Amino acid sequence: MPHPGSEARGRSLRAQGVPQGDRTKNRGSVATATPPPMHEHATLEESRTTLLVPHPGPAGDDDAESLRARWLEPEGDGTRRDAMLRRLAERRGAGHGEPLDLRGLPAIDADFEGLDLTGCDLSGADLSRANLVGAVLFRARLRGTTLFEADLTDAELSGADLTGANLRGAEAAGAGLGRCCLDDAVLLEANLAGATLTDATLVRADLRLATLARIRGRSMDLSQADLTRANLTDAELDGSRVRGAVFDGADLRRASLKLLDGYEQAHWIGVDVREIDFTGAHLCRRFILDQNYLAEFRSKSRANLWLYRAWWITSDCGRSFLRWALWTGVLVVIFAGLYTMADVDYGAHETVLSPFYFSVVTLTTLGFGDILPTSVGAQLIAMAEVTVGYMALGGLLSIFSNKMARRAE
């Protein structure tokens, strides 16, 4: 998609992702922002002090426009931005230096290949299409940073904070992202093939159409993440949390899904699970297959949809013994109430529990015979309860036997 360019002096255009709430329309799209007028000129010493002292708080504590505008203030024969880029170029190959305050830095198309930016604060910076191949960003702060189509191949970002960052279309094959925070980040169409994401958090991250083939992602947190049509072939997801995640249409061939947490609350419609070794994940396999069967069943016709709804309400589609038992109890109470309005002879030992007693023995077809319906209405109610009782008890026995005897298919 098109992306705004940059001017050398006096103007900086920033690419930003669409807010997280609008996930259904142009999510992760790039917008432009024009910086405000420049502030008062700062001295060279003041500018160096500002740039070299890391800020303890999040980028949101300061006005974003002010952060961007400060880089346009004059310094030497150029701007602060130009001076900082020269300083960073001189730092190349010098190893780990002092963490820098680079918040809001406009660095579109900048070359940071191999730079050691350990601990630097790049929150709110615009690094669209920047070259960060092999760069070291260990424990760096990149909250809300724009990395649109940036090249992070083999970069080291372990422990980095990328909350809300825009990495749409980024190239991060082989990158080290262990223990990093990518909550609410946009990684639409990003390439993370072979990356390390062990213990990383990607809560609510947008990973639609992303390439995650061969990732090492043990114990990731993918809660509520959107991985629709993502490529997860040969991915290692063992022990990851996937509660509320969407994997619809994802390619999971040969992926490892052992001990997933919260897979029952995830969406797996249309996933490709061929060639997977389900050792340690047989329950997950069964759930995925059941979910896809039910999705196909309810999509066949409107009648099937209504049947599905009734099936789900009464027994979670045959999976909940407790839900079916509760509905059976509700039937007992309903028929007991009907018996209080009908002519029923409870004999010489009638009590307040007699209607419930008669309802239970009728529904379970025990038929002790000590209580008699003495009117046509009462007899019709009793016959209806016997009929419903057969189905209710049959359902209970069916669900119970399946749970007791079921094994992995």
For 302, residues 6+ apart whose C-beta sits below 8 A from its C-beta are: none
Contact 252, 276 (CB under 8 A): yes
User: What's the pLDDT score for residue 54?
Assistant: 38
Return the number of other C-beta atoms located less than 10 Å from residue 362's C-beta: 25
Q: What is the mean pLDDT of the chain?
A: 83
User: What's the pLDDT score for residue 93?
Assistant: 66
User: What's the pLDDT score for residue 96?
Assistant: 66
Q: Determine the Cα–Cα distance for residues 100 and 90; give it in Å rounded to an integer.
A: 14
Q: Which sign, positive or negative, has the C-alpha torsion 26, 167, 73, 101?
A: positive
SS3 101: strand
For 152, residues 6+ apart whose C-beta sits below 8 A from its C-beta are: 132, 133, 135, 167, 170, 171, 172, 175
Which structural domains are found in the chain, ordered by start? 310-405 (1.10.287.70)
Contact 273, 288 (CB under 8 A): yes
Continuous H helices in 242-375 = 282-299, 302-315, 321-340, 354-363
Contact 134, 115 (CB under 8 A): no
Which DSSP string do the residues of 206-217 spell out, in sequence order?
B-TT-B-TT-B-
The helix (H) or strand (E) run that includes residue 373 is: strand 372-373
Over residues 212-242, the pLDDT tens digits come to: 999 999 999 999 999 999 999 999 999 999 9
Q: In this predicted structure, which of 123-127, 292-296, 343-347 has the lowest mean pLDDT?
A: 343-347
Q: In this predicted structure, which of 23-27, 298-302, 315-319 has the lowest mean pLDDT?
A: 23-27
Tell me the mean pLDDT in the region 69-95.
84
Torsion of CA 58, 62, 63, 66, to 10 degrees: -110
Q: Tell me the range of 175-184, 288-297, 374-383 where mean pLDDT is highest.
A: 175-184
SS3 36: coil
Over residues 321-379, the pLDDT tens digits come to: 899 999 999 999 999 999 999 988 888 888 898 999 999 988 887 766 678 888 999 99
User: What's the pLDDT score for residue 42?
Assistant: 35
